[in-house]
C-alpha cells in the first residue's frame, strides 16, 4: 500500500465482528439519529411482502427464510457479503448515515424505484441496483450483479432529464460492500468528530481559568484564606503587615479590573 491509499478492509469475519460491536452501541450505531419520514417509515410494518420485519434498531437478525423471500421477490441473488451482514449482524438499523434499511424495506424501495414513480419520465431504474441507505432524496445502493456500492443523486434531475443526465446521477462510491463498510466501521460519528480532544479541553479550561473574571475570583479566595492567618503567619509567607490584600490580589488577578474590598 502506497502513501495516500486507503487501508484495505479486514477479512470478512473480522469486519463482521467489528460491525456487530458498533451495531450494538446505540451511540455509534449510525452516523446520524433517524428523524422525520425515514424514521416513521422504518418503523412501519410493510405488510403483504410475506417475510421479515421492518422495525428499527439493530437487534434482530434476518433469517435464511427472510433472505430467500427477498431474493424471490426481487428475482435476483443478493451479494454473499450482504447476506452475511443481514443474517450475522442485524436486519438493518446500523451503518452509514441513518443506517441500512431492513431487508423488507430494501425490497419495497426497490419495487418502488423499478415502478418508476420517483424517476424522470422514460427512465428505468437499473434492475440489479438495491437501495440500502437513504441519503437526502437519493440512495446509496449495492449492485447485486457486481457488488459495487453506487450513489444515486436525483437532486438535479428534472422530469424530462435526458438519458445521459440520468446516467450521470449514478456514481460509484466503492468497488465493494466490504470496502465501504470497512471504512465506515472505523469512522467516527458526527458527535465524536465534534467532541473536543483532551488537549482542546485542557486549552479551553486554561483559557477560562486565565480570564480576568476567573483570576479575580481566585484572588478573592486567596485573600479570604490569608485573612484567617495571623500577622506572623502572613509575615512568614513574605507578606507585608499592611497592604497584604493588594499583594495577594495582584499576584493572582494581574490586570483584572476588580480589587479586594475593605
pTM of the model: 0.66
Q: How far is CA 159 from CA 27, 137, 163, in A?
A: 40, 15, 12
Residues of the chain whose pLDDT is less than 50?
35-56, 256-257, 262
- Listed residue (155, 148, 150) closest to 179, CA to CA: 148
pLDDT digit string (tens) for 169-189?
Answer: 999 999 999 999 999 999 887
Question: Rounded CA gap, 69 and 51, in Å?
Answer: 6
Q: Which three cell numbers stand for residue 62?
A: 434476518
CB 174, CB 96: distance < 8 Å? no
In the structure grid, which three cell numbers stand for residue 164, read together?
445521459
Please give the C-alpha separations between residue 86 and each of 146, 176, 231, in angstroms, as whole numbers.
18, 16, 77
Q: Say which residues have a Cβ less than 8 Å from residue 6's Cβ, sequence separation at least 6.
A: 179, 183
pLDDT (tens digit per residue) in 50-82:
333 333 455 699 999 999 999 999 999 999 999
- What is the per-residue pLDDT for 80? 97
Dump strand ranges (E) for the chain.
129-135, 138-143, 149-152, 170-174
- Burial-class residue 219 by CB neighbours within 10 Å (0-12, 13-18, 19+): buried
- pLDDT score of 247: 86
Q: What percent of the chain has pLDDT over 70?
A: 75
Predicted local distance difference test score (pLDDT) of residue 196: 64
Amino acid at each position: 500500500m502506497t502513501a495516500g491509499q486507503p487501508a484495505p478492509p479486514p477479512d470478512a469475519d473480522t469486519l463482521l465482528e467489528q460491525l456487530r460491536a458498533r451495531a450494538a452501541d446505540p451511540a455509534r450505531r449510525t452516523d446520524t439519529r433517524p428523524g422525520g419520514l425515514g424514521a416513521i417509515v422504518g418503523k412501519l410494518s410493510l405488510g403483504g411482502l410475506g417475510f421479515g420485519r421492518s422495525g428499527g434498531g439493530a437487534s434482530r437478525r434476518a433469517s435464511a427464510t427472510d433472505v430467500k423471500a427477498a431474493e424471490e421477490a426481487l428475482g435476483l441473488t443478493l451479494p454473499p457479503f450482504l447476506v452475511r451482514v443481514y443474517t450475522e449482524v442485524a436486519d438493518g438499523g446500523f451503518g452509514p448515515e441513518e443506517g441500512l434499511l431492513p431487508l423488507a424495506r430494501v425490497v419495497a424501495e426497490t419495487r418502488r424505484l423499478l415502478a418508476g414513480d420517483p424517476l424522470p419520465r422514460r427512465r428505468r431504474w437499473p434492475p440489479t441496483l438495491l437501495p440500502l441507505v437513504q441519503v437526502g432524496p437519493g440512495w446509496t445502493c449495492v449492485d447485486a450483479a457486481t457488488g459495487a456500492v453506487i450513489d444515486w443523486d436525483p437532486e438535479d434531475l428534472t422530469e424530462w432529464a435526458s438519458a445521459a443526465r440520468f446516467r450521470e446521477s449514478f456514481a460509484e462510491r466503492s468497488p465493494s460492500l466490504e470496502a465501504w463498510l470497512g471504512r465506515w466501521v472505523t469512522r467516527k460519528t458526527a458527535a465524536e468528530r465534534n467532541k473536543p480532544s483532551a488537549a482542546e479541553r485542557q486549552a479551553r479550561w486554561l483559557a477560562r481559568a486565565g480570564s480576568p473574571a476567573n483570576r479575580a475570583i481566585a484572588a478573592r479566595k486567596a485573600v479570604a484564606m490569608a485573612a484567617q492567618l495571623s500577622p506572623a503567619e502572613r509575615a512568614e509567607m513574605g507578606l507585608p503587615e499592611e497592604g497584604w490584600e493588594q499583594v495577594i490580589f495582584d499576584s493572582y488577578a494581574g490586570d483584572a479590573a476588580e480589587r479586594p474590598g475593605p
